[in-house]
Structure 1
Amino acid sequence: MSTSQPDASRWAGGCTPDNVLHARTGTDVSPEDIVLAAGRDITPRNLEWAKRKIETEGPAALDKLLP
């Protein structure tokens, strides 16, 4: 199967292709979203950090972490 665009469901690790990256869709930002976007493990300490980040920066906190 030959296509000009790689199948997003088939990329084999490494760098994430641009067509697979997504930004926020206007939905609420959760602490889990912030922790994962920062590349951290979901732990109570990291969730508290993310909650504080959302309180001070609002939903833009996620936008600042994403490419």
Structure 2
Amino acid sequence: MSTVQPDEGADRATPDALLHTRTGTEVAPEDVVLAAGRDVTPANLEWARRKIETEGAAALEKLLP
């Protein structure tokens, strides 16, 4: 009897259509601040709010790999 090893096929890349970061929820300023590697401060939260206002959900997408 043959068994499948956990790492078989691990060298195949995940198709871009299956890669996503959004969970279907709204993007929060805290999410953008943390994704940017910044501390959650009032100034950074305001920066994130402006970024979300101008870029929408893409504000988070642009920051994540």
TM-score when normalising by structure 1:
0.66
Give the number of the structure whose alpha-carbon radius of gyration is greater: 2
1:63 alignment counterpart: 61
- Of residues 38, 46, 51 in structure 2, which corresponds to 1:40? 38
Hey, which of these two has a bigger chunk of helix by percent? 1
Consecutive aligned runs of 4 or more in structure 1 exceeding 6 Å deviation? none
Identical aligned residues as a percent: 77
**TM-score (normalised: structure 2):** 0.68
Q: Which runs of 5+ in 2 are unaligned?
A: 1-5, 8-19
Q: CA-atom RMSD, angstroms?
A: 1.7
Number of residue-to-residue matches in the alignment: 49
Which ranges in structure 1 are unaligned for 5 or more consecutive residues? 6-21
